[in-house]
Amino acid sequence: MVAVGQLIPSISNTQGKPATLLPLSAVVSMQAVKDLFEDSARVQSDKVENNRTVTWLHPAASCCILLHVFKAQTVETTLRIS
């Protein structure tokens, strides 16, 4: 909004020259690259975490089924991560 407002000479103190456009664009671009890097790292981390083996505690029985993969479980399943 600030960069667009600077393009209007009647309301701008820079006589219509976009003084903040370049620095603002640089900051927004760097933030986008950083977010892209963090998101790709998060996807990799999620893949590792979702493929961990867990101890599955069956709600209807008093026994445990060992060594299940986490992504095979449902939302209602109680998990004990070891």
pLDDT tens for residues 18-71?
Answer: 888 888 899 999 999 999 999 999 999 888 877 777 666 666 655 655 555 656
pTM: 0.55
Rounded alpha-carbon distances, angstroms, from residue 61 to 56, 57, 58, 68, 81: 11, 8, 6, 16, 19
Query: HSE of 80 in the Cβ direction (CA atoms, 13 Å)?
Result: 8
pLDDT at 24: 87
pLDDT at position 81 over 70: no
